[in-house]
């Protein structure tokens, strides 16, 4: 990182977890250049937005700077809930009641 | 850093919020982020790790930059919560206030960032102490101070829905798909997470609320049912496959013969220093402020046209901003390198370097960043649909044929989720996908 870059400030790639471009480059340099590895090392995509803003961006950085063919880069698993959901909504599920019953049986 | 509410714009009845104890004038038709911006609010919250100042970026519920404590509930998106009389709104992760947070010193102390893998790991004792301190300082919000009111603890409603075609997303592609599917005789439901259908049409001055309402009416007249403020939250392959939709007060479990994903894309940022500074917003958010909410940025907007941005769209936005009284300067990423946003808690300038290496400073009160939206492909990915990383189109686009058929039977996709496109093309793709879905569902 040049003095000029340092003076200018952090380049944020994942806003939720404050992951910087430098963090992603560091991860690639350590050999963690797969999207799942970068996710585990830097924590990107694990915040409130679950990668909506950073997933495509970081995959593109891996293609341009990690020397990877875009076709070889797989996205990470999209887990539910895809959008922030209050737990109380899930608590009303008929499954929630039966899950408790199952646990008690077990 | 304030916004001017344009005259003769329907925003519903006037209400008063309480933000950090101060009264804020607002309207029932606005969300909290818009009302605070119109007032001239700087910072909404602080970030989780470095306590950097944050304000909204996407204004459409996706980026996670506007989380606030609203009505005593932590981590709600200020851009998705409607204003209501007397509602209390507070910033998070800041002491004493989001504008002036002493913990922001962390950002200065670690200019190169803080690597938690190697931070103070030399001595076990020191590491334990530091870990404790860091845990106290970081995190998102604090739990509600008092138990939730009894009404909120009652078991919420739960709906079951069986349809021929479910269309996820009510933008140009989704509304056209719903119209075509219903017109072909399929029982069709279209859901959209926002309080009003239209999606990206409501952020584009070439379209706007009237166009969006017209398309939504056409879908309804054809027989499609619209569920608003209803977000698709996941596909569960169990029991033959169900889709879960979350509404404001209930979950809906949907069984659909065919699903059309018209989920569009998420606003993306560009890479430059301090690209998260409040006042740096997605161009689409600035368009939405203007078109959907009738609020024009006061002062000067620096419109940054990203390498792969849709230039017709940025031209239209610039013209509309000027017509609404904002001053606009444009910076083209194809001609100049974007170096850094400047400003302590709100952007005050953008630093750019020309081809000759000369650095210039563009003073401004807002930076609008235009880049192709990143395809919202989570739903199709959960079904196992093939996606393709297209860096110039913002991310993982769903691979679909001309009629929207993906690699998985019964799952279709159209519009920006298949790669950035225009509203016209998205609508045409939606019409084809809607017909194909109705046919696939066995409609007459």
Q: What is the pLDDT of residues B151-197, one digit of tens each?
A: 545 566 789 999 999 999 999 999 999 999 999 999 999 999 999 99
Instruction: Please provide the distance, in angstroms rounded to a whole number, between the alpha carbons at the two ends of chain B.
Output: 55
Tell me the CATH number at B96.
Answer: 3.10.20.440
Q: What is the secondary structure of B252-312 as a DSSP string?
A: EEEEEEEEEE---EE------BTTTSTTEEEHHHHHHHHHTT-EEESSEEEEEE-TT--HH
Tell me the backbone φ, ψ of residue B413, rounded to 5 degrees: -150, 145
Q: Is there a domain that residue B173 lies in?
A: yes
Residue B331's nearest CA partner among B365, B357, B298, B301 is B301
B202 confidence band (pLDDT: 50, 70, 90): very high
pLDDT greater at residue B11 or residue B97: B11
Tell me the CATH number at B227.
Answer: 3.50.50.60
Q: Is there a domain that residue B198 lies in?
A: yes
| Residue B102: per-residue pLDDT | 76
Tell if the CB–CB gap between A80 and B351 is shorter than 8 Å.
no
| Residue B155: per-residue pLDDT | 65
Query: Which residue, among B50, B378, B420, would best test binding to A if mutated, counting the most A CBs under 10 Å from its CB?
Result: B378
| Residue A99: per-residue pLDDT | 55
| Residue B147: per-residue pLDDT | 58
Residues B312 and B384 in one domain: no
Instruction: Please provide the distance, in angstroms rounded to a whole number, between the alpha carbons at the two ends of chain A.
Output: 56
Identify all chain A residues contacting B351, using CB atoms and an 8 Å cutoff. 8
Please give the helix or strand (H or E) that residue A69 lies within, else none: none
Residues B17 and B79 in one domain: yes
Angle B220-B221-B223 (CA atoms, 0-180°, nearest 5)? 65
Residues B346 and B379 in one domain: no
Tell if the CB–CB gap between A71 and B389 is shorter than 8 Å.
yes
Residue among B274, B382, B396 minimizing CB distance to A9: B274
Residues B181 and B325 in one domain: no
| Residue B1: per-residue pLDDT | 64
Residues B62-91 have pLDDT tens digits of 998 999 999 999 999 999 999 999 999 998
| Residue B117: per-residue pLDDT | 74
Q: Does B47 touch chain A (CB under 8 A)?
A: yes
CA A102 to chain B, closest CA, distance in angstroms equals 17
B413 confidence band (pLDDT: 50, 70, 90): very high
Q: Is there a domain that residue B152 lies in?
A: no
Residues B380 and B262 in one domain: yes
Interface predicted TM-score of the whole assembly (ipTM), two decimals = 0.91
Residues B381 and B366 in one domain: no
Q: Does B359 touch chain A (CB under 8 A)?
A: no
Residues B91 and B65 in one domain: yes
Which residue range is the domain that position B80 belongs to?
3-112
Domain finish residue from B346, B370, B394: B370
* B387-390 vs B395-398, strand pairing mode: antiparallel
| Residue A3: per-residue pLDDT | 66
B238 confidence band (pLDDT: 50, 70, 90): confident
Residues B244 and B382 in one domain: yes
| Residue B150: per-residue pLDDT | 45
Q: Is there a domain that residue B364 lies in?
A: yes
Q: Does B381 touch chain A (CB under 8 A)?
A: yes
Domain finish residue from B112, B141, B170: B112
Identify all chain A residues contacting B267, using CB atoms and an 8 Å cutoff. 53
CA B21 to chain A, closest CA, distance in angstroms equals 26
Query: Which residue, among B48, B109, B273, would best test binding to A if mutated, counting the most A CBs under 10 Å from its CB?
Result: B273
Q: Side-chain half-sphere of A105: how many Cα atoms within 13 Å?
A: 6
Per-residue pLDDT of chain A (106 residues; tens, 9 = 90+): 566 777 789 999 999 999 999 999 999 999 998 999 999 999 999 999 999 999 999 999 999 988 889 999 999 999 999 999 988 888 876 666 555 555 544 3
Strands (E), B364-421: 366-370, 374-375, 387-390, 395-398, 411-413
Domain finish residue from B343, B370, B397: B370
B266 confidence band (pLDDT: 50, 70, 90): very high
Place of tokens 């849709």: B310
Residues B357 and B393 in one domain: no
Residue among B67, B250, B275 minimizing CB distance to A48: B67
Residues B393 and B318 in one domain: no
Q: Is there a domain that residue B150 lies in?
A: no
Report the alpha-carbon distance of residue B31 to residue B10 in Å, rounded.
Answer: 14
Q: Is there a domain that residue B226 lies in?
A: yes
A/B interface, count of CB pairs below 8 Å: 178
pLDDT greater at residue A32 or residue B115: A32
List all residues 6 or more positions away from B181 whose beta carbon is below 8 Å from its beta carbon.
B164, B165, B167, B188, B224, B260, B434, B435, B437, B438, B441, B443
Q: Taking all residues of chain B, what is their mean pLDDT, rounded to a whole number?
A: 92
Q: Is there a domain that residue B140 lies in?
A: no
Q: Does B391 touch chain A (CB under 8 A)?
A: yes
Question: How far apart, in Å, are the Cα atoms of B15 and each of B23, B24, B29, B57, B167?
Answer: 10, 8, 10, 24, 35
Q: Is there a domain that residue B134 lies in?
A: no
Report the alpha-carbon distance of residue B364 to residue B431 in Å, rounded.
Answer: 42
* Cβ contact B64:A48 at 8 Å: yes
The DSSP bridge partners found for residue A79 are: none
| Residue B198: per-residue pLDDT | 98
B356 confidence band (pLDDT: 50, 70, 90): very high
Task: Give chain B's domain count.
Answer: 3
Report the alpha-carbon distance of residue B345 to residue B348 in Å, rounded.
Answer: 9
A78: nearest CA in chain B?
A: B378
pLDDT greater at residue B389 or residue B125: B389
Tell if the CB–CB gap between B52 and A73 is shorter than 8 Å.
no
Residues B379 and B362 in one domain: no
Residues B366-405 have pLDDT tens digits of 999 999 999 999 999 999 999 999 999 999 999 999 999 9
Identify the structural domains of chain A with CATH numbers, from first to last.
3-80 (1.10.10.1100)
Residues B406 and B335 in one domain: no
Residue B265's nearest CA partner among B164, B398, B99, B101 is B398
């Amino acid at each position: 990182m040049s003095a000029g870059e340092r003076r200018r400030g952090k380049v944020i790639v994942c806003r939720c977890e404050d992951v910087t471009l430098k963090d992603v480059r560091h991860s690639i340099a350590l050999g963690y250049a797969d999207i799942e590895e970068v996710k585990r090392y830097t924590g990107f995509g694990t915040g409130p937005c679950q990668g909506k803003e950073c997933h495509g961006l970081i995959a593109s950085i891996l293609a341009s700077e990690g020397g990877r063919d875009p076709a070889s880069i797989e996205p990470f698993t999209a887990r539910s809930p895809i959008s922030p959901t209050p737990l109380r909504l899930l608590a009303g599920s008929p499954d929630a009641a039966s899950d408790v019953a199952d646990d008690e049986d077990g | 850093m304030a916004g001017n509410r344009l005259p003769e714009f329907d925003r519903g009845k006037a209400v008063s919020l309480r933000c950090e104890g101060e009264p804020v004038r607002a309207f029932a038709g606005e969300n909290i982020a818009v009302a605070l911006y119109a007032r001239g609010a700087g910072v909404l919250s602080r970030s989780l790790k470095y306590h950097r100042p944050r304000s909204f970026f996407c204004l459409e519920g996706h980026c996670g930059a506007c989380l606030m404590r609203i009505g005593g509930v932590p981590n709600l998106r200020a851009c998705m919560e409607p204003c209501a009389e007397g509602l209390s709104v507070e910033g998070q992760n800041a002491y004493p206030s989001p504008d002036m947070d002493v913990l922001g010193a962390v950002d200065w102390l670690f200019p190169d960032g803080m690597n938690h893998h190697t931070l103070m790991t030399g001595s076990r004792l020191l590491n334990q102490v530091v870990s404790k301190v860091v845990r106290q300082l970081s995190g998102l919000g604090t739990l509600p101070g008092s138990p939730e009111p009894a009404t909120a603890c009652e078991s919420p409603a739960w709906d079951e829905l069986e349809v021929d075609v479910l269309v996820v997303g009510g933008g140009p592609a989704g509304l056209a798909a719903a119209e075509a599917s219903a017109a072909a005789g399929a029982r069709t439901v279209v859901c959209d997470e926002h309080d009003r259908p239209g999606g990206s049409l409501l952020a584009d001055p070439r379209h706007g609320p009237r166009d969006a309402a017209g398309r939504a009416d056409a879908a309804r007249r054809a027989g499609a049912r619209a569920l608003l403020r209803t977000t698709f939250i996941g596909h569960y392959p169990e029991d033959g496959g169900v889709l879960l939709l979350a509404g404001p007060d209930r979950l809906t479990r949907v069984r659909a013969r065919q699903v059309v994903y018209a989920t569009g894309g998420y606003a993306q940022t560009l890479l430059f220093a301090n690209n998260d500074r409040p006042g740096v917003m997605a161009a689409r958010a600035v368009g939405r402020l203007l078109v959907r909410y009738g609020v024009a940025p006061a002062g000067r907007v620096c419109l940054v046209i990203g390498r792969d941005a849709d230039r017709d769209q940025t031209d239209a936005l610039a013209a509309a901003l000027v017509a609404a009284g904002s001053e606009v300067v444009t910076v083209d990423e194809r001609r100049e390198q974007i170096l850094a946003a400047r400003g302590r808690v709100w952007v005050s300038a953008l630093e750019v370097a020309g081809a000759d290496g000369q650095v210039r400073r563009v003073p401004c009160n807002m930076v609008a960043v235009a880049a192709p939206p990143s395809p919202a492909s989570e739903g199709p990915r959960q079904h196992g649909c093939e996606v393709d990383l297209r860096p110039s189109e913002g991310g993982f686009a769903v691979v679909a044929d001309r009629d929207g058929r993906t690699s998985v039977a019964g799952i279709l996709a159209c519009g920006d989720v298949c790669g950035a496109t225009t509203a016209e093309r998205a609508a045409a793709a939606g019409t084809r996908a809607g017909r194909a879905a109705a046919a696939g569902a066995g409609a007459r």
